[in-house]
């Protein structure tokens, strides 16, 4: 294993260099993408997918449920077992969460009041894939959507690897939009290439975050997830390998991610 190089910085430097979730440049780029796709539809979506995601000319934008199932059968058996095991854990918790929500109705003078719980019609689940596949993002978004009773679940991911498609199959997704970045968020929000989604969730780079921000007046989003930030506070009792794994898990998300260690023992 190659040695990990550590850089020591002081608190003032951390404060000065702190990244923002939605920067002006990302907003400008995302706004142009949204305007082009809204004006030109699938032609613009394909143009951006080919230019920014590396989608081969003429390649399908949408991968069907049958293709997802085929990818699942073709991956390594150990990976299949892993996806099913992790998917089962997520599914169990999602079911427990859904069962914790109840409709309410009670009497008041002159009538009755209450609330109902109704799933959205279509959910878009974004999974980054520009640097390496993140099947975990597929499982953690698509499975809760399916367990909530969402009628149609669409996964968006650029250059989806077989493991990503297999994860979509395990999660019960209906299709995968083989597009990434702001163009994927725009397509799912506006219904270009796929049905328009009521809600979009899942992590992404700053252009994904910018697109979610700009489109949040039309659709529901989960949150504006900026570059990952993690601080681990450790003393002499900490296990170095566990601390390193936590730091690396966040650092791999994005070059702008910050993974910091505050240690009382060298």
Distance, in Å, from the CA atom of 129 to the CA atom of 178, rounded to the nearest integer, reads: 10
Q: What are phi and psi of 165, to 5 degrees?
A: -65, -40
Say whether pLDDT at 94 is over 50: yes
Q: What are phi and psi of 178, to 5 degrees?
A: -80, 55
Say whether pLDDT at 249 is over 90: no
How does 175-189 read in b/e, with b if 16+ C-beta sit within 10 Å?
bbbbbbbbbbbbbbb
Query: What is the mean predicted confidence (pLDDT) over 38-49?
Result: 97
pLDDT at 229 (0 to 100): 85
Domains of the chain and any CATH numbers: 25-93+116-221 (3.40.50.1980), 227-266 (no CATH)
List beta partners, residue 230.
259
pLDDT digits (tens, 9 = 90+) for 154-187: 999 999 999 999 999 999 999 999 999 999 999 9
pTM for the complete prediction? 0.83
Of 126-130, 214-218, 236-240, minimum mean pLDDT range: 126-130
């Amino acid at each position: 294993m190659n040695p990990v190089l550590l850089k020591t910085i002081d608190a003032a430097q951390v404060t000065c260099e702190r990244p923002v979730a939605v920067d002006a440049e990302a907003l400008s780029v995302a706004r142009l993408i949204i305007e082009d796709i809204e004006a030109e539809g699938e032609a613009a979506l394909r143009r951006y997918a080919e230019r920014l995601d590396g989608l081969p000319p003429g390649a399908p934008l949408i991968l069907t449920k049958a293709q997802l199932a085929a990818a699942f059968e073709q991956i390594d058996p150990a990976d299949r077992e892993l996806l099913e095991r992790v998917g089962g854990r997520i599914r169990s918790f999602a079911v427990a969460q859904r069962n914790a929500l109840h409709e309410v109705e009670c009497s008041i003078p002159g009538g009755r009041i209450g609330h109902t719980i109704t799933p959205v019609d279509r959910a878009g689940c974004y999974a980054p894939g520009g640097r390496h596949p993140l099947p975990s993002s597929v499982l953690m978004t698509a499975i809760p959507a399916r367990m909530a009773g969402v009628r149609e679940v669409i996964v968006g991911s650029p250059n989806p690897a077989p493991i990503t498609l297999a994860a979509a199959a395990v999660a019960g997704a209906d299709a995968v939009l083989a597009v990434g970045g702001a163009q994927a968020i725009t397509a799912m929000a506006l219904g270009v290439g796929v049905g328009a989604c009521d809600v979009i969730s899942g992590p992404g780079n700053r252009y994904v975050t910018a697109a979610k921000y700009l489109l949040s007046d039309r659709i529901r989003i989960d949150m504006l997830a900026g570059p990952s930030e993690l601080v681990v506070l450790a003393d002499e009792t900490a296990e170095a390998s566990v601390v390193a794994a936590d730091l690396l898990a966040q650092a791999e998300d994005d070059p702008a991610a910050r993974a910091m260690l505050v240690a009382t023992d060298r």
